[in-house]
Amino acid sequence: MRLVICLLILIIVPLALAVMWQPPTPRADLTTAYIAVQTLDPSQMQASEDIRMGYALFEGLTTFDPYHFEVLPGVAERWDVSADQLTYTFHLRSDARWSNGQPVTSHDFAATWQQGMLPDFAGPYHKFLRHIRGARAFSEWAGESLKQVSAIENDEAQREAGEKRLRDVSVKFKQLVGVQVVDDRTLVVQLERSTPYFLEVVACWPLFPLHRSVIDSTKLDDQTWMLRRDPQWTRAGRMISNGPYRLAQWQFKRQIVLERSTQYWNKDQVKLNRVAALNFANPVAAFNAYESGAIDLVVGIAVPFRAELVAAARDGRRPDIHPVNNWGTYYYTFNCRPTLPDGEPNPFADPRVRKAFALTIDKQRIVEHVTREFQQVAHTFIPPNSIAGYTAPDGLVGTAEDAPRLLADAGYPNGDGMPTVVLMYNSGGGHENTALAIARMWEQTLGVKVTMDVNEWKVFQDELAKGNFMAARVGWFGDYGDPTTFLDLCQTGNGNNDAAFSDPHYDGLLAQAAQESDATKRLAILAEAERYILQDQVPIVPLYYYRLIHAFNADRVQGVSLHPRNLQFFHRMEVRE
């Protein structure tokens, strides 16, 4: 007994000390929540929560007005564009500073982009850099030379080859890539082809500069002879960034604290001195914290009772709940491969079958009675009014009454001869109800049999890639302000073309648009491409635009963007007490 008591005291005392040790910290100007931040290295970012932090900590040559998505000057105070729109000359502002006080120079951008183009670092959005002339050739050289180094058997020879490759990188970059550092404050960028949205690309996180200490820390990995960078530079106290905020604290799975940078060129416009983002592994816990007043702002609530929140917002009971459109489309995709993986012919290879199934879906019914979130029904793939100058085409023409005739034309009158339709969706996330409702619509109107294939997320992704489905629920969010961010998904060979849709006319339209230097004409060609898939080919059926639900008291917290592209800039927000 005495022993047990001793043991207990031994445990309790250090425990109590550990708990009491933490001094209470004053509440930040704005406290928000995040579910999972995977990286604070902008070149490796891909999830929206990471990117939100990226825009607080870093700034590109240009930046956005997050409310209307106009491009604004960032590190570059102005730029010149050549008449052929192939050469951009950026003039960097003299007062652009890193958080340690050093000036941000054009060298920083060139060096960061050089590493960003290497397969060694493999950033998820490295393709943003491909707009720059020679970027592809440089990447391919780097990939090829890496392959050659890997093939060498002798260790010593391999090390030498690896080191030679490292030396060659800068030489090749200068030779191949259209990026010239004229002086510290002038950067000339040549493009592969005219890219009307290039200034937007420049504002995005893969093109943010990294401090030269990060670039210089790159070493050769002694196993693969690839270039490696120590990812620990993103820790608070070590990170040097150039944005409106500096990283004051990053406690893993607990919180990220941002403090206004005293070096940021536009610091006088930054209202919030301290922003704390608390980590919640569970969205319900985050919402509870909001309800208890512990946090001020939740961006994109992902709780199971979203429909109830939308209902409360719609009838005015909860003015602090803000349902808005997101820059993404929830859609169903049809497998367009001629045969299924088991070798059987695929009825959905016929556009008439796809059209029949698409026409049968009552989208309004789904958003009102199934999801009950009252999302905006989608007739187009690209969310409307999200891209300046782009006029969306009309959606699929026809009604559910036309569907049986189309199916009969394709050789399946009343569904006779149709194999059982396999409808695939991923478990969790509430896709089941929508899938069941759609299956019932198909069965009732078309006389076909539908079976469900439910898979856990990773398996679902694998099956999609393998084409092991007939119809599947998918979704897509745009990356940059151009129709191609959506339309590329139906291009032959695109990595996310789940339908494996391959159509020479469509690919031709995209190629034609890529060659077109007149922005208006180019957008018209892209609109025709979108019309072609929506009306004629129907590899996809857009159901609705994703809904975002933000929670914040609009009288208190101001400057939260309600634009569908959902970039939240803490440095544009304000809290009124």
Partner 1 sequence: MLSLILRRLIQLPLLLLVIYTVTFILAWTVPGNPLEVEGRRPSREVEQAMRARYNLDDPFKFYGEYLWGALHGDFGPSLTYKDWTVSQVIGASLPVSIQLGAAAIIVALFLGTTVGAFSATRREGWGGLGGLADWGSMSIALIGISLPTFVTGSVLVMVFGLWLGWLPVGGWGRWDQMVLPVITLSLPFAAYIARLTRLGMIDVMTSDFIRTARAKGLSQRKVITTHALKVAFLPVLSFLGPAAAAAMTGSFVVEQVFNVPGVGQHFVTAVANKDLFLIMGVVLVFATLLIVFNLIVDVAYQFVDPRIEEG
Helix, strand, coil percentages, rounded to 5, for the chain = 40, 20, 40
Q: Report, in Å, the least distance between residue 365 CB and partner 1.
A: 26
Q: What is the rounded CA–CA span in Å between residue 533 and residue 66?
A: 30
Q: Report, in Å, the least distance between residue 111 CB and partner 1.
A: 20
**377 close to 543: Cβ distance less than 8 angstroms:** yes
Distances in whole angstroms, Cα of residue 463 to Cα of each of 54, 143, 216, 473, 477 = 33, 28, 41, 12, 21
Exactly one of 278, 313, 418, 525 binds partner 1 (CB under 8 A); that residue is 278
Q: Which residue stretch of 106-114, 276-284, 325-333, 525-533 sits at the interface with partner 1 (rule: CB under 8 A)?
A: 276-284
Question: Per-residue string for binding with partner 1, 42-61, x by CB under 8 A?
Answer: --x-xx--------------
Q: What is the rounded CA–CA span in Å between residue 197 and residue 205?
A: 15
Nearer to partner 1, 465 or 519 (CB): 465
Exactly one of 349, 436, 459, 562 binds partner 1 (CB under 8 A); that residue is 459
Could you tell me the maximum CA-CA distance found in the chain, to the nearest angstrom?
88
**Residue 291 interacts with partner 1 (CB under 8 A): yes or no:** yes
Q: List b or e across 408-445, with b for residues whose CB sees 16 or more CB atoms inside 10 angstroms.
A: bebebeebeebeebbbbbbeeeebbebbebbbebbeeb
Angle at which helix 431-446 crosses helix 351-359, to 10 degrees, equals 110
**Residue 24 interacts with partner 1 (CB under 8 A): yes or no:** yes
Q: What is the rounded CA–CA span in Å between residue 206 and residue 124?
A: 9
**Residue 397 interacts with partner 1 (CB under 8 A): yes or no:** no
Q: Report, in Å, the least distance between residue 292 CB and partner 1.
A: 5
- Which of helix, strand or coil describes residue 331? strand
**Residue 161 interacts with partner 1 (CB under 8 A): yes or no:** no
Give start and end residues of each alpha helix (H) in 262-362: 283-291, 306-314, 351-359
> Letter for the amino acid at 503?
D
**76 close to 95: Cβ distance less than 8 angstroms:** no
Beta strands in 365-488 (DSSP E): 421-426, 450-455, 471-477
Nearest alpha-carbon partner for 87 in 132, 128, 117: 132
Nearer to partner 1, 241 or 279 (CB): 279
Exactly one of 218, 288, 376, 512 binds partner 1 (CB under 8 A); that residue is 288
Exactly one of 78, 219, 254, 521 binds partner 1 (CB under 8 A); that residue is 254
Exactly one of 72, 304, 385, 457 binds partner 1 (CB under 8 A); that residue is 457
In this structure, is the dihedral angle defined by the CA atoms of residues 278, 281, 283 and 287, taken in order, positive or negative?
A: negative
Exactly one of 397, 465, 519, 554 binds partner 1 (CB under 8 A); that residue is 465
Q: Report, in Å, the least distance between residue 305 CB and partner 1.
A: 13
Please tell me the count of residues contacting partner 1 according to CB under 8 A: 65
Nearer to partner 1, 235 or 369 (CB): 235
Distances in whole angstroms, Cα of residue 335 to Cα of each of 223, 463, 565 = 41, 11, 29
Q: Report, in Å, the least distance between residue 491 CB and partner 1.
A: 14
Nearer to partner 1, 206 or 395 (CB): 206
Q: Report, in Å, the least distance between residue 297 CB and partner 1.
A: 16
Query: Which of the residues 211 through 240 are near partner 1 (CB under 8 A)?
Result: 221, 224, 226, 231-232, 234-235
Q: Which residue stretch of 195-203, 314-322, 406-414, 453-461 sits at the interface with partner 1 (rule: CB under 8 A)?
A: 453-461
**407 close to 413: Cβ distance less than 8 angstroms:** yes
**Residue 492 interacts with partner 1 (CB under 8 A): yes or no:** no
Exactly one of 17, 18, 83, 171 binds partner 1 (CB under 8 A); that residue is 18
**Residue 3 interacts with partner 1 (CB under 8 A): yes or no:** yes
Q: What angle do CA 304, 305, 310 make, to 5 degrees?
A: 130
Binding site for partner 1 (CB under 8 A): 1, 3-4, 7-8, 11-12, 15, 18-20, 22, 24, 36, 38-41, 44, 46-47, 119-120, 122, 124, 126-127, 139, 143, 146, 150, 221, 224, 226, 231-232, 234-235, 251-254, 278-282, 285-286, 288-289, 291-294, 456-459, 461-462, 465, 475, 495-496
